[in-house]
Structure 1
Amino acid sequence: MTKHPIASRLSLAIAGALLAGAGLAAAQDAVPTPDGAMRELDAIEVTGEIVYRDRTEEPATLVYDLAYFQSFEPLTVGDMLKRVPSVAFLSDVLEYDGVRLRGLDPGYTQILINGSRVPGAGFDRSFFVDRIPAELVDRIEIVRSSSADRSGDAIAGALNIVLRDGYSLEGGYLRVGASQYPDDEIEPTLGAVWGGEALGGQLLLGASTQGRRNPKLKFSQRFDAPGGTLDNTEVQTDTRSGDDYSFNLDYSAEVGPGRLALNAFYVRTDRIQEEDSIEYDAGVQADASILTINANDLDIRTDNYQLGAEYAWPGAGGENRIRFGYAGIDDDQYEFEDEYEYLRDANPFPEDDRFTGDRSYLDIRDRELSGEIRHTRDVGGAELRFGLEATRKDRDTAITADRNRITIPNAPSPRPVIPGEFGPFLPVDGGLNTIEETRLEPFAKLSGSAGALEWEAGLRYQHTDVSIDDRTVAPADARVDNDYGVFLPSAHLRWNLDDSNRLTASLARTMRRPGFDQISPALRLAELGDNDLLGNAALAPEIAWGLDLGWERRLGRRGVVGINAFYRDISDLIEIANTGIEGDEGPGTFVLQPRNTGDGEVWGVELDLSTPLTAFGLDDTGVFLNYSWLDSEVEDAFGVRRFNDQSRNVFNVGFIQQLPSVAASFGASYRKQGDAFGRIVGEEIVTSYGADLEVFVEKRFGEQWTLRLTGSNLLDASKDEVFDKFTTLDDQANRDYDEYEVETESAGRVYQLIARFSF
């Protein structure tokens, strides 16, 4: 498809940005942070200085400032994370939602915002990072190995999204622009951030709105078996569009003997997903070969928010901190699917043409109230930190649905009026429940140094008590309880060989809690192929011992190169087992149940490089590279495999070239993610992604204006999936196929033009 020049399409938006800021004056003052550092807005937004990955003093932690990503103008945290080591996604093309750190399922990664857990809509407690706009973020911290004063729900690791605070900048900026998508639709973006002294302290306010769109094309071929007869093909359009709205606030001030900090953020996602498809008999794409016409729309509105208050003060021979947090998610989804089947045969009723309409509502309300108190003091030549963290979760879920199916002897084409009436919406199995979860987590950590050696050792105890009341089962079975406590020791060593080189070693015990759906008392019919799925209230958490060994070297004044090897030994894996009870679909089907059945191992090597090419006389050229080789082993009912959907590798490489003489810069970023294989009961999937290329061109005007043009998915990467589908367990073991499907999904190129004005 030929694209119109985006500059002409977006000229009005950019002109609006210029007029909006024309009368504003620059403010170049720096502001001191609590640790004595000085930050300037212009160093981030205007001057064009290349920002590299930070070298942090925290154990087993990598830090990436927003400025590291800024040149490519990411829309969301997901867009940011796709550039960092070991982060993979199993999302649709041009979407980055559930983080798969080290390639593992999102439930193995702990997502934190400002160091605190946030609730997500998923039953596995995972959080979709594409819900957080990039403009809210100050930096991303990748915590490869846990410490005692952090949550231990991090077998793969943790990602801490640190939002901008009152010390992030002095002054502000406006951001305005738009993106052009492959279907020539244009979506605007507008944001403003200001920080400075106010109300006796440091205040930051930010707000943004941005349109998002992803028009995709899918093509599927379905066979009776690999290499067999082509049964049908499907041509589908899948367009996802919507708007994000965000607001954040941070305030801190000296109050009495200590410092008070208040923060809040709110994000709303309004989104609609429209899928329209036509299925053709034996691959002949003609009206006479139409088998089905399907329209499937999903309307989503999700609100995420968090409120936090913290007070730190000296006392009792050390430093004290008390923190309170309140976080929530409201997730409302309405979905309908209308399908018209053109059966075209002479069979008697009901084998005539027919209409099937499905309607469903999902309503999730999740609230978490958390608190923490900690004390830090010197003990001899070491530092002792101890405290208690407590969390209370209350979650209400309502999933209701209704179906209307009617035969239509003479259905018109291509899309008749919906016939018949829908009845009342009734709860689906397991879809109407209340969940209460209480967590108590005391911890203690001791750290110190001896010459060139720095060390840390600690212990955290995590106790969890979960109760589920499900109103779709018999009253006698409606309530289940699941409680457990786990000790999580950790230790870190860092040996500073000289001013440039250091070695690190980390050992930590971590965990993954059972998902809410896995302990539910509900029996879900035909959930896995034609097999039923029953929850198990006796599930224990998965436990892992993890080892990380790393080497890091400072390259000149700003560059860093590092290599890290990791290993995880996971016990009490939660896998699907056969109860031996016949399923609702009759002989050959069974009731399946999650159980703690066996162990698994995960290992890999991670390399990252971020440096200017000063050694080659190229001070204005910065390069970025990271490569992660990932592997694992687990055994299920069908044999040995890798952990489900773990990519074999993740590779990123890019550069930024500054042109100081003309106040401009340009750069490119290339990403490739390896194949992934997943196997569950009834289905096996191989997923492959094409390479992603992004470029940007930037021009700065004076001390305040920046104009950036970016292009993403320039290689028009596709997502390719191969599905092996089976009806029963025996069919899967004997490779007796129900269906073999090959699907390709593509989205096209996206261009974005953004203007920034700093003041």
Structure 2
Amino acid sequence: MNKTIVAAFLVTTALGGWPLSAFPAEEPLADSAIVIYDKAYFETFSPVTLLDMLKAVPGVPEILSANEEQIRQAQRTGGAAQRGFGSGGDQILMDGKRLAGKANNISDTLTRISATQVDHIELIRGASSGLDVQSQGLVINIIMAENSSTSTTFWQVRGEYTEYNKFYPEFLVSHSGSMDRFDYTLSYERKNKDNHVDIDEDFFDPQDNYKALQIVKSGTRNYAHSFNTNLAYEFEDGGRLRLNGLYVPGGQDGLETRDKTSDTVRPLAWLTTRDSDKWEVGGDYARPLGVFGNLKSLFVINRNAEDYLVDRFKGNGTEKYEYTKDDTSLDQREKIFRGSISKDIAKGQNLEVGGEAAFNKFNKTFDSFTRSTSVSNYIVSTSDNVKIKENRYEVFAIHSFNISPELVLQSSLTTEFSKIVADNILIGGAIDRRDTSFTYLKPRFNLRYDVTPLDQVRLLVEKKVSQLDFNNFVTRFDQMEQIFKPGNTKIRPEQTWDFSFTYEHRLPDDGGSLEAELFYRKYTDHISTVDFTNYVDFNHNPITADEFFALPPDTALRDYVGDTGEGYSAKQGNIPKARSYGAKIKSNLRLGFVGLPNATISVNYTIEKRKTTDQFTGLERRFDRLPDQTWAVNFRHDIPDYQFTYGLELTSRSDYERFYINYYWPNSPAASYKVFAEKTVFNDYKIRLEAEGLRHSRGTSTVFYYYDHIRFDDLYERKVQHWKRLTQLRFSIQGTF
């Protein structure tokens, strides 16, 4: 399928004004940037949960997917998760407010709320005052039904089967109720997620002679019990208090085997065990203050503790012995307090001022032990112990100015103060301390202009400052690359200036929309892998990398650098500057013009050229691990007469590379397909089937390994990887009573 042709066809169709048969949504005349989907709209789709309702709104599934990917990324990186709240965050709100939780996130909440508890859903395009977050383009605001004495229990049973592996069941039960001014939700969920990676690897020497075949098989199961509660009470004075809690004990079991034909003792087997314990409490309180405006406040307190053990074995049968083991321990804690007061200061103008404080602790240890034979004693090969305290404060002011019914300007200024104390506790008890303070001004200007009720233009200028990934402070073993990656406690936050221009056109009668965005980003202190080698000249005086590689080749000097200190070493660090620019096209369309009035298709395309200077070769290159282009296609067809829905999700990325001090790793990922079908039975129950991994391929990649440093251009080995993907089948049945 030629994605460019498909995208061009959809754009042409949208702009050409084909006759459409659509489901008109209510559209308030006062603000054409807000589209309301009421209960009558959703009757056609027979939703059971709030998530079912959102999936039936054009353009929303893409936001849900992006939100879930952010959550997965935070779970994978741990220390890279967003600390504090800030003015950004989830673009999904409930009654205009964000959920006061981090681990207890909005995506999980959507599955626990019955469709009967929802009054209507608002889609807000562009800048708008009175919301808990600043718009990134489209904000979903869910308005809940008020003060109804009801009680609903939602349940779901689901499971996943991966080809050639076991079937793992999961289930969820959630009870929600309302009594006058009090709302509550209690839920329990049993989670079982497995992940499988199969790779065939072919090895070649520098002369391109075949050396060996290695077969890698990896399987990991993540399991957890999740206990959750949400409470809300509305006071007679207009105040509203919401509290929520989460407790998630869980763990992980994994086995990876590597069988290489050239190994004397084979295979290698790596066993992983992880125990985790996570809890969180949070809440928010809002109330009117009369002439002083409106008060909004929230807090979150959480903790995450993990113990991660990896045991590695060689051989089979009587030859099998453990040759190395890694032990990682993590204790992560956070406290967040945020408050603000907003007030109308003039006709069409609103000012919100407030502050936020976030206190974080991140303690992580990594110890690796190794031995050469089954009767040898273990010796410590690597040990790292880091204790981090971070105090972050923000003072902010947000000004919303409705210049006219068509023109809205939202501007804000946030001042961020942070102090990080990172103690690297060395063997023997000595402490290498980094005590650093940062202060940043972060202005933001967001202009929305409704050219017509169906056409909108948005301009955005924003200064962003990243949060440091504390995992980069600690040494770790990269299991995929099979190397130790040292920690660096001296990284600085990455700063970005974002500039974007967006045009959006909506078709009449909620028939779809087309959005095009142009953007440019300027980076300072871009975070990437940096050369930390201590280079010297022939007299062993310190010199730069460029000066070292300009010297006449000398094996003795090369070996001296490799054998002294940390040798040829790379860590996460800062590159002074980088840039990126590109465009995004988003389109969704109802297919009434081809006789499918209940079908929608969304096509999203992004092209982003990212440029920085490689710290090992000195050449300009793309960003590490990030493709230039991504495609996403979502198709959904509802057949109301049969209460049946089916659809397709497709995602694809262009080639990308990984860069390191001693390798170059280009990747060609395969497209990912997911098909699904769901049927509502007896009005209150829904059965869903999903299939993924139907192509049995994740793509291919080639790794070029070099002796010591890639700049010597001394190739050691070439490895060609064929990444396989097993077919996954998912089943679920859910209902309410």
Same fold (TM over 0.5): yes
Structure 1 residue 224 and structure 2 residue 202: aligned?
Answer: no
SS in 2 for 1:564: strand
Quote how far apart the aligned CAs of 1:263 are: 1.5
Amino acid at match of 2:294: E
Q: Is 1:472 matched with 2:472?
A: no
1:691-748 Cα shifts (integer Å, max 9, x gaps): 222222222223212222221222223232221222323xx11321122211122232
Match of 1:692 in 2: 672
1:318 equivalent in structure 2: 293
1:549 aligns with 2:516: no
Match of 1:336 in 2: 311
Whether the 8 Å contact between 2:665 and 2:704 is mirrored in structure 1 is: yes
Q: What is the 5 A alignment of 1:418-497?
A: 419-420=374-375, 423=378, 428-430=382-384, 432-451=385-404, 452-472=406-426, 477-497=431-451
DSSP-derived class of the 1:572 partner: strand
SS at match of 1:643: coil
CA spacing shift, 1:755–1:568, aligned 2, 3 Å: same
2:711 maps to 1:728? no
Identity %: 16
Larger RCO (CA within 8 A; separation ≥ 6): 1
The residue aligned with 1:678 is 658
Using the TM superposition, give the Cα deviation of residue 185 of structure 1 relative to its aligned residue in structure 2, in angstroms: 2.0
Instruction: Please say if 1:135 is aligned against 2:111.
Output: yes
SS of match in other structure, 1:647:
coil
Q: Which runs of 5+ in 2 are unaligned?
A: 1-33, 115-120, 537-559
Shift of the 137–269 alpha-carbon distance from structure 1 to 2, 3 Å rule, reads: farther
1:323 partner amino acid: L
Q: Is the 8 A contact 2:100 2:244 kept in 1?
A: no
> In the TM superposition, what whole-angstrom CA distance separates every residue of 1:414-453 from its partner, at most 9, and x where no partner exists?
xxxxx337658x69432x2221110010000111112211
CA distance in 1, matches of 2:712, 2:130: 47
SS of the aligned residue for 2:111 comes to helix
Q: Does the aligned pair in 1 maintain the 2:124–2:141 contact within 8 Å?
A: no
Looking at structure 2, the residues matched to 420 and 82 of structure 1 have their Cα atoms a distance apart, in angstroms, of 54
Of the three residues 629, 633, 644, the one matched with 2:624 is 644
Aligned partner of 2:608 in structure 1 is 630
Q: Is residue 349 of structure 2 the alignment partner of residue 369 of structure 1?
A: no
Amino acid at match of 2:669: Y
SS of equivalent residue, structure 1 residue 733: helix
Query: How far 1:216 moved relative to its partner?
Result: 3.2
1:12 — aligned with what? none
Q: What residue number does 2:361 align with?
A: 394
Matches within 5 A, 1:520-599: 535=488, 537=490, 539-558=491-510, 559-575=512-528, 576-578=530-532, 579-580=534-535, 585-586=563-564, 589-590=567-568, 596-599=574-577
Amino acid paired to 1:453: L
CA change 1:591–1:214 in 2 (3 A) is: closer
Greater share of helix residues, 1 or 2? 2
Which of 384, 396, 407 is matched with 2:351 structurally? 384
Query: Per the alignment, do residues 145 and 273 of structure 1 end up closer, same or farther by CA in structure 2, a change over 3 Å counting?
Result: farther
Q: Which residue, out of 253, 257, 261, partners 1:272? A: 253
Structure 1: distance between partners of 2:133 and 2:429:
35
SS of 1:714 mapped into structure 2: coil
- In the TM superposition, what is the alpha-carbon distance from 1:486 to its structure 2 partner? 0.4
Asked whether the 8 Å contact 2:365–2:386 carries over to 1, the reply is yes
Shift of 1:594: 5.6
CA RMSD of aligned residues (A): 4.6
For residues 131 and 507 of structure 2, what CA distance do their matches in structure 1 show? 31
173 and 574 in structure 1: CA distance in 2 versus 1, 3 angstrom threshold: closer
1:174 correspondence with 2:155: yes
Shift of 1:231: 2.1
* Structure 1 residue matching 2:270: 3-state secondary structure: strand
Distance 1:200 1:756, change over 3 A: same
Cα–Cα, structure 1 residues 523 and 553, in superposed 2: closer, same or farther, change >3 Å?
Answer: closer
AA aligned to 1:185 is: K
Are 1:260 and 1:310, in contact at CA under 8 Å, matched by a contact in 2?
yes
| Counterpart residue type for residue 307 of structure 2 | D
Can you list the C-alpha shifts for 1:276-335, whole angstroms capped at 9, x where unaligned? Answer: 121103xxxxxxx86531110111233343311211112252001222211222222111
- For residue 401 of structure 1, report the CA deviation from its aligned partner: 3.1
Name the structure 1 match of 2:460: 506
Tell me which residue corresponds to 1:345. Answer: none
Distance 1:159 1:609 in 2: 13
Q: Which 10-residue stretch deviates more, 573-582 or 720-729?
A: 573-582
1:178-211 CA distances to partner (integer Å, 9 max, x unpaired)?
A: 2222015211121122322048411122222232
Gap runs ≥5 in structure 1? 1-34, 52-63, 72-76, 90-94, 121-126, 282-288, 343-352, 407-418
2:223 pairs with 1:243: yes
Q: Distance in 2 between matches of 1:185 and 1:43?
A: 41
What displacement does 1:666 show? 1.7
CA distance in 2, matches of 1:622, 1:517: 42
2:578 — aligned with what? Answer: 600
Structure 1 position 654, deviation (Å)? 2.6
State the alpha-carbon separation in 2 of the partners of residues 548 and 728 from structure 1. 42
Structure 1 stretches of at least 4 aligned residues deviating more than 6 Å after TM superposition? 35-40, 79-82, 105-111, 116-120, 129-134, 137-152, 157-170, 522-525, 527-532
Conserved in 1, the CA contact under 8 Å of 2:234 and 2:241? yes
Could you tell me which amino acid in structure 1 is paired with residue 251 of structure 2? D
CA 390–478 in structure 1, closer or farther in 2 if over 3 Å, else same:
same
* Mapped contact 2:392–2:418 kept (Cα < 8 A): yes
1:80–1:655 CA distance, 2 compared to 1 (3 A): closer
* 2:370 is aligned with 1:403: yes
Residues 462-485 of structure 1 show CA distances to partners (whole Å, capped at 9, x for unaligned) of 111011222225756422212111
Native 8 Å contact 2:368 2:383 kept in 1: no
Against the structure 1 CA distance between its residues 363 and 136, is the aligned structure 2 distance closer, same or farther, given a 3 Å change threshold? farther
Kindly provide the amino acid, as one letter, of the partner of residue 438 in structure 1: N
* Greater shift in the superposed pair: 600-609 or 466-475: 466-475
Whether contact under 8 Å (2:562, 2:708) holds in the other structure is: no
| Cα distance per residue 1:204-247 (max 9 Å; x no partner) | 2222223222333221112223x612222111221122323323
Cα distance change on mapping 1:165 and 1:389 into 2, 3 Å: farther
Contact 1:357 1:405 in 2 (8 A): yes
Seen in structure 2, the aligned counterparts of structure 1 residues 669 and 523 have a Cα distance that, compared at 3 Å, is closer
Whether the 8 Å CA contact 1:112–1:159 is kept in 2: the answer is no
Q: 1:641 to 1:598 in 2, by over 3 A?
A: same
Offset at 1:43?
A: 7.9
**Which piece of structure 1 moves more, 735-744 or 164-173?**
164-173
Displacement of 1:248 in angstroms is 2.4
Asked if residue 253 in structure 1 is aligned to residue 253 in structure 2, the reply is no
Cα distance in 1, alignment partners of residues 210 and 722 from structure 2: 16
**What CA distance in whole angstroms lies between the structure 1 residues aligned with 2:728 and 2:198?**
15
Instruction: Report deviation, 1:163.
Output: 11
Q: Check 1:654–1:677 CA distance in 2 against 1; reply closer, same or farther (3 A cut).
A: same
Name which of 296, 302, 307 aligns with 2:281. 307
Deviation at 1:509, TM superposition (A): 0.3
Contact 2:128–2:410 (CA under 8 A) maintained in structure 1: no
Structure 2: distance between partners of 1:161 and 1:532: 41
Q: CA deviation at 1:487?
A: 0.4
Q: Tell me by how many angstroms 1:385 deviates.
A: 0.3
CA shift in 2, pair 1:304/1:588, >3 Å: closer
Quickly say closer, same or farther: Cα 1:570–1:322, change in 2 above 3 A: same
Q: 1:136 to 1:734 in 2, by over 3 A?
A: farther
Q: Within 1, Cα distance between the matches of 2:194 and 2:334? A: 31
Corresponding residue pairs, total: 649
How far apart are the structure 1 equivalents of 2:398 and 2:52? 30
- Checking the alignment, whether the CA contact within 8 Å between 1:608 and 1:626 is kept in structure 2 is yes
TM-score, reference length from structure 2: 0.77
SS of the aligned residue for 1:573 comes to strand
